[in-house]
């Protein structure tokens, strides 16, 4: 694989510190997207802390986060898991050809009631 | 009193009700909302990473426009509010980020001076719920309303600082001010499914359904929200309960709604 992912960069841009985690699992317990994820918020945190992110960057779980910030609000150690997930996702989609959503995908997703906000938000989260 | 106003993209399109009733009601409450000129979309979601700069410039420009007019800034869409307020916080607290932003701003340097009110905060802190009570001509007596906060108004609470993130009262106080009865339910500050609805509508449906079934089980007959995407997801959830923007009920209680029906 030619794409190299930097754990150091991920942690730096997130502004969060995964080493503060005490592995209580509260972030995953409160995550509304838990059932949709293969790797759960507390696993994101510990895998990033261990520098072991190969499986994460290939997993769809990075696109399942709703950015609801429940984990950030409720983590008793102030770890801010969602910020780590976002920083990791950016590491992936900033590489050429790795956008998760492209303009060509949009026409099939439209319906009459869909607010513009849904489209701009998804692009902000899935596409660089 | 004059305040700067940032409506955002969706309020010009699918969510015109949220905008129209907000302006109309503000006027009746002696607040003149002056729309920012040439504003651009906030992007819908804040990117928490500190090396994301260009995506935050539209928010900084909005903030700076209000600052240059010497006015406080009012938002009404929950998402715009979250993005603009988090961006302002980054300008205040992260000097490296702020200096990168200001490299784009030319002569127009900005340092996070603008004070931002969500429309609900404007009602509570600038107008006052007591004054609203006095101005209500058409109290929504006996209506049992569930306030839906979702995520964006409250979190991250350290930055948003609107209310207690786990036990908020601002929407309930609003509901009382217009003469109705608030229904408290546990899921009122859990996510509707957000933008995931675009590529995974069923997962958003599941989240929204959980919220609304919980509201119904606690006796709510009607749900109010400040967010167009929440409204969309809640309406698509299949749970049989009406969902409206809080500004529509405000206009109704103030006796202004009839004016817009022609
Ligand atoms: S809630 Fe915080 S401390 Fe607990 S597992 Fe998650 S990140 Fe670690
Ligand atoms: S921000 Fe993402 S990871 Fe955190 S609780 Fe919400 S959906 Fe789960």
Domain ranges for chain A, please list them: 7-97, 99-128
pLDDT tens, position by position, A74-89: 999 999 999 999 999 9
Quick check: A21 and A45 in contact, CB under 8 A?
A: yes
Query: What residue of A is the nearest CA neighbor of B196?
Result: A66
CB contact under 8 A, A115 and B14: yes
- Asked if the structure places residue B139 within a domain, the reply is yes
Taking the C-alpha atoms of residue B100 and residue A11, their distance in angstroms, rounded to an integer, is 20
| Confidence (pLDDT) at A3 | 61
Which parts of chain B register pLDDT below 70? Answer: 260-262
User: What values do phi and psi take at B35, rounded to 5?
Assistant: -65, 135
* Ligand 2 pocket, residue A65 CB under 6 Å: yes
- For residue A19, pLDDT over 50 is answered with yes
Range of the domain at B72: 2-119
Total of domains in chain B = 2
- Asked if the structure places residue B126 within a domain, the reply is no
CB contact under 8 A, A121 and B203: no
Complex ipTM over 0.90: yes
- Is the same domain home to B114 and B24? yes
- For residue A1, pLDDT over 50 is answered with no
Give, in order, the Cα–Cα distances in Å from B54 to each of A111, A128, B90, B255: 30, 11, 13, 43
Nearest protein CA to atom 4 of ligand 2, as residue: A71
Chain A residues within an 8 Å CB radius of B48: 14-15, 80, 82-83, 86-87
pLDDT tens, position by position, A26-45: 999 999 999 999 999 999 99
Task: Name residues whose C-beta falls within 8 Å of residue B135's C-beta, 6 or more positions apart in sequence.
Answer: B28, B29, B254
Taking the C-alpha atoms of residue B161 and residue B102, their distance in angstroms, rounded to an integer, is 26
Helix (H) or strand (E) holding B181: strand B181-183
What's the CATH number where B17 sits?
A: 1.20.1050.140
Quick check: B150 and B193 in contact, CB under 8 A?
A: no
Taking the C-alpha atoms of residue B77 and residue B7, their distance in angstroms, rounded to an integer, is 7
- Asked if the structure places residue B125 within a domain, the reply is no
User: What values do phi and psi take at B6, rounded to 5?
Assistant: -115, 105
Query: Does A105 lie at the interface with B, CB-CB under 8 angstroms?
Result: yes
Taking the C-alpha atoms of residue A20 and residue A22, their distance in angstroms, rounded to an integer, is 6
**Minimal CA separation from A1 to chain B, in Å:** 25
Which pTM value belongs to this model?
A: 0.96
Quick check: B248 and B21 in contact, CB under 8 A?
A: yes
CATH code at A7-97: 1.10.1060.10
pLDDT tens, position by position, B188-224: 999 999 999 999 999 999 999 999 999 999 999 999 9
Give, in order, the Cα–Cα distances in Å from A57 to each of A71, A124, B233: 20, 18, 29
- For residue A2, pLDDT over 50 is answered with no
- Is the same domain home to B161 and B235? yes
* Helical spans, DSSP H, in B49-200: 57-69, 78-93, 95-104, 119-121, 129-135, 157-160, 170-177
Instruction: Count other Cβ atoms within 10 Å, centred on residue A8.
Output: 8
Q: Which of A25, A125, A106 is nearest to B52 (CA)?
A: A125
- CA B257 distance to own-chain centroid: 20
């Amino acid at each position: 694989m030619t794409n190299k992912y930097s754990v150091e960069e991920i942690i730096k841009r997130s502004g969060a510190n995964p080493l503060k985690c005490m592995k209580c699992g509260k972030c995953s317990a409160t995550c509304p997207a838990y059932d949709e994820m293969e790797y759960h918020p507390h696993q994101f945190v510990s895998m990033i802390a261990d520098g072991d992110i190969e499986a994460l960057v290939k997993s769809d779980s990075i696109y399942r986060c709703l950015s609801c910030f429940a984990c950030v609000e409720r983590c008793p150690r102030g770890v801010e898991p969602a910020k780590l997930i976002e920083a990791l996702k950016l590491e992936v989609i900033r590489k050429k050809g790795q956008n998760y959503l492209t303009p060509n995908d949009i026409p099939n997703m439209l319906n009459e009631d869909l607010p513009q906000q849904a489209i701009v938000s998804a692009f902000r989260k899935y596409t660089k | 009193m004059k305040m700067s106003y940032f409506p955002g993209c969706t309020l010009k399109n699918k969510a015109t009700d949220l905008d129209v009733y907000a302006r109309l009601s503000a006027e009746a409450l002696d607040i003149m909302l002056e729309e920012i000129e040439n504003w651009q979309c906030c992007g819908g979601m804040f990117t928490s990473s500190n090396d994301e700069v260009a995506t935050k410039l539209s928010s900084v420009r909005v903030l700076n426009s209000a600052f240059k007019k010497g006015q406080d800034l009012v938002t009404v869409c929950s998402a715009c509010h979250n993005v603009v307020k988090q961006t302002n916080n980054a300008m205040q607290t992260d000097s490296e980020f702020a200096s990168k932003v200001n490299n784009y701003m030319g002569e127009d340097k900005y340092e996070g001076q603008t004070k931002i009110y969500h429309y609900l905060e404007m009602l509570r802190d600038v107008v006052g719920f007591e004054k609203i009570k006095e101005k209500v001509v058409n109290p929504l007596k006996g209506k049992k309303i569930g306030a839906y906060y979702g995520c964006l108004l409250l979190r991250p609470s350290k930055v948003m600082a609107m209310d207690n993130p786990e036990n908020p009262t601002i929407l309930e106080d609003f509901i009382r001010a217009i003469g109705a009865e608030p229904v408290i339910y546990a899921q009122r500050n859990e996510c509707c499914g957000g933008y995931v609805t675009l590529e995974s509508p069923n997962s958003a449906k599941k989240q929204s359904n959980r919220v609304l079934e919980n509201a119904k089980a606690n006796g709510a007959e009607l749900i109010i929200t400040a967010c167009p995407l929440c409204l969309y997801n809640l309406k698509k959830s299949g749970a049989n309960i009406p969902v409206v923007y809080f500004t529509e009920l405000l206009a109704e209680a103030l006796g202004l709604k009839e004016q817009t029906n022609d």
